[in-house]
Amino acid sequence: MFDSLATCKGTNRISCKRLIRLPGRGMLRPPISRNQGLDPKRIMPNQPAGQRLSSLVRSAGMPLVFTGNSLDRADARRNDSAWTAARLKDPASKFLVLSGLRPLMATRPALDIHYLDFAAVAEVLDSGAQWLLLGIEKDGEKNGEKDQEGGTAFFALDVTGHEGALPATGSAEAKFIDARSVAMQFGTAERDGGRAGRIALARAVLGWHARHGFCAKCGASTRSARAGFLRACENDACLAEHFPRTDPVVIMLALDGERCLLGRSPDFPEGTYSALAGFMEPGETIEEAVRRELMEEAGIEAGAVRYLASQPWPFPSTLMIGCYAEALTTDINLDGHELEDALWLDKKVVRDILAGSQDGPVLVPTRMAIAATLLRNWVEI
């Protein structure tokens, strides 16, 4: 089935070479060795390829789930332990509680974060459970005047193992639900008002605390500080400070004129294809990471790269960086372990599959993922 859709597949390299025709050149392009170095003239930002990609970027305006957290993160308050202690006990403060990194959600009348107040979580807080200052509402006003203490404070609290100390968290109206499921039901940030963004912050940082109980420098135990945004080594001879991590991942759609490159990992559901992706490595730019991943996974040489958008992905603490890349070669050469297949698909085919008017591979089944934004933004141009 895929053979009729794809103009190039890794399993059919000879036919690929026959079909290669770069836009505007009117001639076949000879295959390029994957070891050939990049000519700097081909990756300069002002070249036509870069301008074509830039037109894609200007059109992007789609909100992404896990973005749009509207809270003031109140960095200046994080070292103010007296202020923090007072807000923890403030009856107006709200607690987003998580068990096993699953947020407590209200399921009726509509899915929403089920915040608890101090009275409901006091016993859990007393037990030493990990908490985190998510931030304060930006419009912190009382009686028309600016509230010097800020607006309502929002905290996250890890209640794992303490669920029994909470009021009615196992009822039909309030359940701990996997954050992916919540995000899928919330949809885009525009629709969810940034609520998934709060969950992303809570899940990523509380997960980081759970994994970093000991100092990476000396091995001694660490303690939470700065309202949950720091772990400090308790060894007086060390006193190293450790901050929550964000791990950048580039995810890219390689473009060859009116075709895009999609691949499938062995662990994808059967028949499913998505944009290629990979973790950035130390000492490289976003553009370099995009080109390296395309070459490593599919043997595709890329020139101009344009950033589209990014998306926090708190599983456990990733930032997805969505890009388009201009393919300089189209002959697929799979790496043999990260991808089991890759193919070029025409824009019309992709558009029809997404619209449900044509059968074909399952394309980026998770609409909330940035890969879907890359693809849908491209076909709408």
CA–CA dist 163, 378 (Å, integer)? 45
CA–CA dist 15, 26 (Å, integer)? 18
Smaller CB separation from Zn ion, 233 or 320: 233
How, if at all, do strands 362-363 and 272-273 pair? parallel
The residues, any chain, with a CB within 8 Å of residue 278's CB and separated by 6 or more, are 249, 250, 289, 292, 293, 296, 297, 338
Smaller CB separation from Zn ion, 89 or 245: 245
Smaller CB separation from Zn ion, 181 or 221: 221
Smaller CB separation from Zn ion, 240 or 362: 240
Smaller CB separation from Zn ion, 222 or 330: 222
Lay out the site mask for Zn ion across 238-277 (x = CB under 5 A, - = otherwise). Answer: x-x-------------------------------------
Out of 12, 54, 185, 235, name the contact with Zn ion by CB under 5 A. Answer: 235
Cβ 206 to Zn ion shortest distance, Å: 22
* Ordered DSSP codes for 37-95: PPPGGGS-TTSHHHHHHHHHHHT-----TT----SB--GGGTT-HHHHHHHHT-TT-EE
Q: Are the C-beta atoms of 194 and 67 separated by less than 8 Å?
A: yes
**What Rg, from alpha-carbon coordinates, does the chain have?**
24
Interface stretch with Zn ion, choices 27-35, 169-177, 225-233, 309-317 (CB under 5 A): 225-233
Interface stretch with Zn ion, choices 39-47, 141-149, 235-243, 250-258 (CB under 5 A): 235-243
Beta partners for residue 156, in sequence order: 96, 132
Contacts to Zn ion from residues 40-99, by CB under 5 A: none
**Residue 218 interacts with Zn ion (CB under 5 A)?**
yes
Interface stretch with Zn ion, choices 2-10, 42-50, 229-237, 337-345 (CB under 5 A): 229-237
Interface stretch with Zn ion, choices 118-126, 133-141, 236-244, 260-268 (CB under 5 A): 236-244
Cβ 317 to Zn ion shortest distance, Å: 21
Out of 6, 96, 196, 215, name the contact with Zn ion by CB under 5 A. Answer: 215
Q: Are the C-beta atoms of 67 and 312 separated by less than 8 Å?
A: yes
Out of 97, 113, 233, 304, name the contact with Zn ion by CB under 5 A. Answer: 233
Tokens of 7: 């103009």
What is the total count of residues that contact Zn ion (CB under 5 A)? 8
CA–CA dist 315, 321 (Å, integer)? 15
The secondary element (H helix, E strand) that includes residue 372 is helix 370-379
Q: Are the C-beta atoms of 324 and 56 separated by less than 8 Å?
A: yes
Smaller CB separation from Zn ion, 146 or 245: 245
Tokens of 296: 């490593």
SS3 358: coil
Interface stretch with Zn ion, choices 29-37, 76-84, 210-218, 283-291 (CB under 5 A): 210-218
Smaller CB separation from Zn ion, 202 or 215: 215
Out of 21, 34, 217, 347, name the contact with Zn ion by CB under 5 A. Answer: 217
Smaller CB separation from Zn ion, 203 or 226: 226
Residues in contact with Zn ion by the rule CB under 5 A: 215, 217-218, 220, 233, 235, 238, 240
